[in-house]
Structure 1
């Protein structure tokens, strides 16, 4: 019995299809359905059972536009299978999961609309995920084998009409099979390997939600390897050598930068020897240098604009300029796309085709961005990367009122687009070389830059920095040779964007999933910090897997699977695709069986190794969350606690239940120590991190004078009575406090095997929603998802 038949099996719906008296268009999200319906004509919104569709008449033909809400089907294992490994899986309606029960009304509506539909057009996002969403609706709800396909990159009226009038004759089967194969692989790897970890830790009598996946593992190893590089790094001393020239007769004194050592300032212009000196004995040859011969060379350089945005580059720039994390950037650009303000964001392309009519877009932008008038380059600057599905990210020319981060990202996209049509910047480059008379092989240099024509740098935040250097030619007196001692530095830790860049270079994950993979690693307690650092748990997990089952974290294996799926995406014949998919899945099953055999033989050793990491994480979290001695009992420590019951943080005394002192904290945000003290009361200042908001510091002491002033000001604005008792000052056990027994027991770290759970919330600050539920990779721990399952084993899937 072929796997394909097993995979496609879903209990048939008893649908009596009509004679086909309307055209039915299916989109991925309700916003897209509304945009398409509005583009086709005067649309009427119809709501049934909490879900909506649109009716529109065009050229005498009735058209209905309905939508999914991301994935309406998810992979599940067939009932009756216990333990691991498991391979019998099937597509099941998403609403069967409690977290996705809201999808049932859309499922039911599409099922009803299918009954009397004639022609079907799939108009989901044109990528592998969109293809899978459309294919599943088509085969499992509509019971049809094929349909026409709309392809568009923006939700603008002209492009939607063009896509409607010129649909593809069938689904993009390469995308469909590549997408399904990715779901299956991520699900099989994720659920089996995560169950393996959970089973191993249970042998120690402990419990911790753990997950690993085919991309998660190699990604974590990259970070752990960097940690080893840093910890094993041994600094070496070296010296930089400068020739200091202080001659105001030769050049203007404004050209006199200063170098410093041990806080001492040195006047004069310093010219640097191009090589760092690691052998201190070599410094002797510089000491007698008193004179040199200078030569100045000037050149003009044209600096072309940066290339158009693909998703990774946009994420990198949003972080560089605005410190907006990759996941949040992805979430924002998805909204901007659905609002019709920018093109489809999940693209690898750095190309701008003529078909988008860039001149008309620039003209439309002039109203809100006058600099667009200066964008007169006939052909845009383009990069090397391309994408068969979509062009680079570009603005549509539309405008809307936006929230702070939405505005920042939108303006970034607009200005990048304008810049690629703007003139080159022109710089005047100057390089001064001083050759020592005493040793002609010894040279000292200084380079300068002046911007002659700003060009595109007037539009887009540039990295060009002007620097003046003197013009020197002929003999010069060297007033001093200065040696500045330094030490070699260890490699830098990854930032979210540099990690995404390295994952892209290694072909691990996809443009849509990489940021969510990083979020998952944070949420599992494997990573910490903005400069990403592996926690004791993350370190020990990789160390244990390297010792007992290294194939799980082998990036070469993951890369080979990615390449096979890319090859699958490029194929066209459905029959060939089905065979290729079957072959890839069978190969993956063999690997998982081999891992299973090896893993089970060493399960207890693996469990002990991971437990050591869990205990190390607990110690770190206790230290990170300990604030000060409790002012009430003087025995316990005040700590930041996270309650799984209320899903909120509060401050409480570690001497509970003997001491029940608590302090409320701002809800719906992640709270951590700031490392600073309140200037009024000396309590530790805390930092509140909230998605889409700037971090802010606050004192949690309700008796602090500064807090009282701010509360009085707040009460005045709200019209409340000044002096009214705030919740924080109410007696212990009062309403609104989180210090009840249930909250304590749910907070983690109180029972054996449970880790203080504030760490489980790390990484959520920058996190955005997963694409379309990006479903099964989320179960496998490799792509996130829209809803988080709290139940232990399910979260490990």
Structure 2
């Protein structure tokens, strides 16, 4: 018996429909003439919590950290226990198994971990379902792979899951405990990806708050060439006075003098450079999930999680291909489907899609068709299933149209234009101008309403014909006063784009270059979820009108407590690069986890050394690093330090406030003098011993304090004798 194991019931049903023979539904599986199909509900196994490794870890204690499992433990998800039993029974009955998890890192692990858990020894094949339409599924069934070929992909997923566990479970505890000891009543969830993502918003907000606008001037001049007028912009020389650190002209006096000198120059201006070159922009690639999320956010104000949810629905309705894709390329064999897909779009009932598809040429083969760029999945495109757009709601139509628009663009010519660059010298000052003359709109005809493309194409097609050495009359010049602007706050869409282009935000300049080609932090499937979690847990709030993300007080606390290794994306981006190389078989799982364990231990140690601003009405007078909290003891209510057991300070309750000590220590002014028994009798010593070694003789039940503050509290010999034993 051949057993297909799908990731979820909807995928299992579509797969079963494409197998031969009669289809019969059972409890948790489907039988067909071509085999049996069963499924999970996402992950049916979960990683054990620390307390499930050892009961002592149920209580959060600093001395237990770091928690590093020797043997990683998986447990059956309680809600999936029945289905897991069905899967185990069918695996036992099967002669061959087909792994039908999603075609990505997580999908590979999801089924593999079940097979490993039951110690399966039977042969396993792999089916890659990039779309759920009948044509795509039948092609995939005919092209089964050996599951062993995806071993390294599983290793990469295991590495990601275990690294997240190590950092999340340990650092969340370490830094939450440190914060709570300083009186902050909060839980700080720390993650390998979500923490540097949150830190991006905190740093951006601080840049905005601390921003001070600076004035600067741009100087433009109008010239008259024999073939027509044009405008050019002044370029500062190397030793130009009046420039700020960014090379902008910031001195108005210098700008005024420059304008006067230009007006006084008697010789005509001279064209010193005039270069025209043919330029071509290749077709915009089809969309990956991140690209789709950013586009939908910019055009429709749609948050990334909603885009993912809609893309998943379109996939399950067989209208588009697998949504959690980080790829923007297509397999060359699918080019043959172009005519059918374009034909469906012509009759889709959407006027723009229909017009664009009708003008497309299915014979054109853009750079998107490249087998070398394909891994487990390809770009998101429409399937050969005809879409009835009337059956979709507004946002579903919008997302489908974005996917279809990018696909149609592959069958338009490249965008071609002539780019002209001109340099003009007048009065010893250099001016530049550029112009663009479009010779073929090509694929950009589909994006004429796109603001970014409008800006690019507005680079000016108004330059008159000229050549090097031509003269031009100076007409006038003007200095336009401008002010620098603060950076813009992140929205969910732009924060997701920042996660994908994380090299722009790394701290180390050398690493910035190294990580330019890394696919960011997080995955296509998790980035939206991470942003949503930060919002749901109150670390980010979303401004209603423009949907800007604003960090909450807890976000500042978390980011300020942590060292740069966790708040800057450098380390996380490097780890993501390692995970990608591990998927290609170039990195070792055990070595990666050893490095993660060392990193976790080092940051747990740093948490112990933190000095955190106190948050509370009653700072502990004994240690100075904790807050007194009201507690219930066996003898009634009392006030104890939040840093217990490191600090054992305690005070009686007096009308809802800690009662001041009868004998505060005059030396450190933080501790209280306590009556102790020494080798030579009773004496009074500071409660902060050994940090404070003040000691005083006992005088009728009170400390014998010196008459003057400058006097010694006790002789050296007294102190040596009378210290606590």
TM norm structure 1? 0.62
- Name the CA distance, whole Å, in 1 between partners of 2:561 and 2:294: 32
Q: CA distance change for structure 1 residues 543 and 209 in 2, over 3 Å: closer, same or farther?
A: closer
1:46 matched to which residue of 2?
Answer: 25
Structure 2 unpaired stretches of 5+ = 237-247, 504-519, 619-725
Partner of residue 397, structure 1: 384
CA 427–611 in structure 1, closer or farther in 2 if over 3 Å, else same: farther
Show the counterpart of 2:647. none
Matched residue SS, 1:74? strand
Q: Aligned equivalents of 2:589 and 2:548: distance in 1? A: 39
Corresponding residue of 2:163? 185
Structure 1: which 5+ runs fail to align? 1-21, 96-100, 256-268, 613-797
Segment drifting more, 271-280 vs 121-130: 271-280
Distance 1:607 1:583 in 2: 38
Decide whether aligned partners of structure 1 residues 542 and 66 sit closer, same or farther in structure 2, where only a CA change above 3 A counts.
Answer: same
Native 8 Å contact 2:330 2:369 kept in 1: no
* Shift in Å, 1:497: 3.6
Look up the match of 1:164.
141
Q: What is the CA deviation profile of residues 532-577 of structure 1, one whole-angstrom value per residue up to 9, with x for unaligned ones?
A: 443333223222223xxx44435343334333333322229xxxx9
Work out the CA distance in 2 between the residues paired with 1:325 and 1:300.
Answer: 39
Shift of 1:133: 0.9
Establish whether residue 553 from structure 1 lines up as the match of residue 567 from structure 2.
yes
Question: Structure 1 residues 46, 314: closer, same or farther in 2, change over 3 A?
Answer: same
- Secondary structure of residue in 1 paired with 2:147: coil
The 1:315–1:383 alpha-carbon spacing in structure 2 relative to 1, beyond 3 Å, is farther
CA gap 1:484/1:161 in 2 versus in 1, 3 angstroms:
same
Query: In structure 1, the residue corresponding to 2:216 is in which secondary structure?
Result: strand
Picking from 285, 297, 308, the partner of 1:307 is 285
In 2, Cα distance between equivalents of 1:23 and 1:35: 17
Partners of 2:120 and 2:222 lie apart in 1 by 81
For 2:47, which of 61, 75, 80 is the aligned residue? Answer: 75
1:522 paired residue number: 535
Residue 392 of structure 1 deviates from its aligned partner by: 2.2
Partner of 2:244: none
Matched with 2:585 is: 571
Match of 2:110 among 128, 133, 136: 133
Take 1:144 and 1:293, find their aligned partners in 2: how far apart are those partners?
Answer: 83
Closer/same/farther in 2, CA of residues 606 and 104 from structure 1, 3 Å limit:
farther
| 1:285 counterpart = 2:258 | yes
Distance 2:526 2:157 in 1: 13
In the superposition, relative to structure 1, how do residues 424 and 561 fare at CA in structure 2: closer, same or farther (>3 Å)? Answer: closer
SS at match of 1:273: strand
Task: Go from structure 1 to structure 2 and tell me whether the alpha carbon gap of 1:406 and 1:205 turns closer, same or farther (over 3 Å shift).
Answer: same
Report how far residue 599 of structure 1 moved: 1.9
Does structure 1 retain, via aligned residues, the 8 Å contact 2:418–2:436? yes
Pair 1:367-2:347 in alignment: yes
Tell me the equivalent position of 2:74.
91
Structure 1 position 28, deviation (Å): 0.6
Instruction: Indicate the residue corresponding to 1:421 in structure 2.
Output: 411
CA distance in 2, matches of 1:601, 1:228: 26
Aligned counterparts of 2:18 and 2:617: Cα–Cα separation in 1:
58
TM-aligned CA distance change 1:390 to 1:32, over 3 Å: same
- Residue by residue over 1:359-392, the C-alpha shift from the partner in whole angstroms, topping out at 9 and shown as x without a partner, is 3444444433443342345321339993521222
Q: Residue 270 of structure 1: CA displacement?
A: 5.5
1:344/1:202 Cα in 2 relative to 1: closer, same or farther (>3 Å)? same
Residue 477 of structure 2 is matched in structure 1 by 481
Cα 1:342–1:611 change in 2 (3 A) is farther
Partner residue of 2:398 out of 387, 408, 416? 408
Task: Note closer, same or farther for the CA distance 1:327–1:609 as it changes in structure 2 (3 Å cut).
Answer: farther
How far has the Cα of 1:64 moved from its partner?
A: 1.5
Question: Equivalent residue for 1:501?
Answer: 497
CA distance in 2, matches of 1:387, 1:511: 16
CA distance, structure 1, for counterparts of residue 235 and residue 284 of structure 2? 29
Determine the structure 1 residue equivalent to 2:595: 587
- Counterpart secondary structure, 1:69: coil
1:25 paired to 2:4: yes
Structure 2 residue 606 is matched with structure 1 residue 598: yes
Distance 2:575 2:133 in 1: 36
Kept in 2, the 8 Å contact 1:427–1:451? The answer is: yes
1:35 corresponds to which residue? 14
Structure 2 matches for 1:773-788, cutoff 5 A?
A: none
- Evaluate the alpha carbon distance shift between residue 610 and residue 351 of structure 1 in structure 2; reply closer, same or farther with a 3 A threshold: farther
From the superposition, tell whether residues 607 and 193 of structure 1 become closer, same or farther in structure 2 (CA, over 3 Å): farther
Q: Is the 8 A contact 2:207 2:486 kept in 1?
A: yes
Deviation per CA, 1:423-479: give whole Å up to 9, x if none.
12334556676643xx0x335455444544332123345414455536376776655
Query: Is the CA contact 2:289–2:326 (under 8 Å) kept in the aligned structure 1?
Result: yes
Give the length in aligned residue pairs. 547
| Aligned-residue offset at 1:174 | 0.8
Whole-angstrom distance in 1 between the partners of 2:318 and 2:486 = 45
In 2: Cα distance, 1:298 partner to 1:168 partner: 52
Q: Does 1:341 align with 2:319?
A: yes
CA change 1:458–1:232 in 2 (3 A) is: same
Give yes or no for the alignment of 1:354 onto 2:332.
yes
Mapped contact 2:159–2:579 kept (Cα < 8 A): yes
Q: Which residue of 2 aligns with 1:697?
A: none
1:731 alignment partner in structure 2: none
Distance 2:599 2:418 in 1: 59
How far did 1:115 drift? 4.7
Cα distance, 1:130 vs structure 2: 0.8
Aligned to 1:116, which of 69, 93, 96?
93
Q: Over residues 74-124 of structure 1, what are the superposed CA-to-partner deviations in whole Å (9 max), with x where a residue is unaligned? A: 1013241323433345111122xxxxx2x3443243244345333221111
Deviation at 1:586, TM superposition (A): 3.2
Deviation string for 1:601-655 (max 9, x for gaps)? 54xx44737999xxxxxxxxxxxxxxxxxxxxxxxxxxxxxxxxxxxxxxxxxxx
| Match 1:216 to one of 171, 194, 207 | 194
d(CA) in 1 for partners of 2:446, 2:37: 40
* Inter-partner Cα distance in structure 1 for 2:259 and 2:616: 55
1:431 touches 1:448 (CA, 8 Å); kept in 2?
Answer: yes
Q: Aligned partners of 1:107 and 1:607: how far apart in 2?
A: 49
Please say if 1:318 is aligned against 2:320: no
Q: Determine the C-alpha separation between the residues in 2 that align with 1:443 and 1:553.
A: 44
The CA deviation at 1:57 is 1.3
SS in 2 for 1:55: strand
User: Does the 8 A contact of 2:183 with 2:615 survive in 1?
Assistant: no
Taking a change above 3 Å as real, the CA distance of residues 608 and 340 of structure 1, as seen in their structure-2 partners, is: farther
| 1:378 equivalent in structure 2 | 364
- Write the distance in 2 (CA, Å) between the matches of 1:196 and 1:429: 58
